[in-house]
Amino acid sequence: MKLMSTMCLSALLGCATLTAQAQSRFPERPIVIVVPYPAGGTSDAQVRMIQVPLEKLLGQPIIVENKPGASGALAAVAVAKAKPDGYTLLYPNNGFLIAPLLNKSAGYDPLKGFAPVSVVTNLPMVLVINKNEPANDLPEFIKYARSHPQGIMYASAGTASYGHLATTLFSQMAGIKAEHIPYKGEANTTLAVRNGEVSMLLTSPSSVMLGQVKQGNLKLLGVASAKPSSVVLGVKPIAETIPGFTAELWFGLLAPAGTPAAVIDKLNAAVRKVLQDEGIQSKLVASGALAQSSTPAEFANILNAEYGQWADVISKNNIKSD
């Protein structure tokens, strides 16, 4: 019995040693980053901007695999089921948290099924209104909206989209009544508020939309970041008028739950180093995003807090996906 116990203990110690050695040598083969959206989109473009620098740092090829479908759920399920060794990663955005809240059969748990690696980019939403609205700043607009108990109309890129949820939260916190008018895509929402079909739009600051602001066709009232953002210089945070309100799009890297901490830390260190490069930062800014890395724990906190926030908004407002 003693001999068998000794042999079992030796075997376990041997396995642990081999596992530790494998983790220390990570990566030893190509890493796949799964993008939940088609090639050519925002997520895909961002990953390809950091692809080569990551390859140089990690010493292995980075393969970008586009796996669109089911609002990102197909990609999320595939990565959640992958071996937790760091060789299969997911590059989601906020929609990753929202999809399973709207569809209980999405097939994945965004909090329990993944190990956060790092936030990669961040982009705060901005609030714009039609040029003919009788308000020149956010406090004036809120006062004006409150004087219309029947409600004002706002646009979003679709029912249950991030913009829809964020504007619902904004309206609640501002104490105004707002009617949701869904459109197909961001370009159409900008056109709708420019033409006066709706009064308000909370959206990402695209070059087209900012161009309309510069031309005087839209009024830019605030940015939905906790502090002033370099994306829209000189624009006050909405939180100065509505304390606690933020709405920021993020993109980041996740690994399957159970991925060893040593592997997560190595990936995190590589991402943080890549995002410190001014050339990469400039490329991201040109695409409309800000480089913003985080620790795995910080990313986990973001996921937990936002999941609870959107679960509450969806439940209280009985929001359903199309």
DSSP secondary structure string for all residues of 138-164: HHHHHHHHHT-TT-EEEEESSTT-HHH
- Which tokens in the block code for residue 95? 């929609």
Helix (H) / strand (E) element for 6: namely helix 2-25
- Report how many domains make up the chain: 2
**pLDDT by 10s per residue, the chain, length 322:** 666 666 656 656 554 454 556 567 999 999 999 999 999 888 999 999 999 999 999 999 999 999 999 989 999 999 999 999 999 999 999 999 999 999 989 999 999 999 999 999 999 999 999 999 999 999 999 999 999 989 999 999 999 999 999 999 999 999 999 999 999 888 899 999 999 999 999 999 888 888 999 999 999 999 999 999 988 889 999 999 999 999 999 999 999 999 999 999 999 999 999 999 999 999 998 888 899 999 999 999 999 999 999 999 999 999 998 7
Residue 73 falls within a domain, yes or no? yes
Omega of the bond leading into 27 within 30 degrees of 0 (cis) = yes
The model's pTM is 0.88
Domain end call among 192, 219, 240: 240
Angle at 103 between CA 90 and CA 202, to 5 degrees: 75
* C-alpha–C-alpha distance, residues 142 and 137, integer Å: 9
Angle at 55 between CA 51 and CA 60, to 5 degrees: 130
Which residue, among 120, 86, 123, has the nearest Cα to 253 in the 3D structure? 120
CA 36 to chain centre: 12
Is the same domain home to 218 and 159? yes
- Which tokens in the block code for residue 187? 């370009």
Is the same domain home to 86 and 156? no
Residue 22 falls within a domain, yes or no? no
- Which tokens in the block code for residue 160? 């249950």
* Full domain range(s) for residue 209: 126-240
Domain end call among 209, 240, 271: 240
Rg of the chain's alpha carbons, rounded to an integer? 22
With b for 16 or more beta-carbon neighbours within 10 A and e for fewer, the 285-319 pattern comes to: eeebbbbbbbbbeebeebbeebbebbeebbeeeeb
* C-alpha–C-alpha distance, residues 318 and 301, integer Å: 26
Q: How many CA atoms lie within 13 A of 47 on its CB side?
A: 28
Is the same domain home to 197 and 260? no
Domain end call among 240, 272, 296: 240
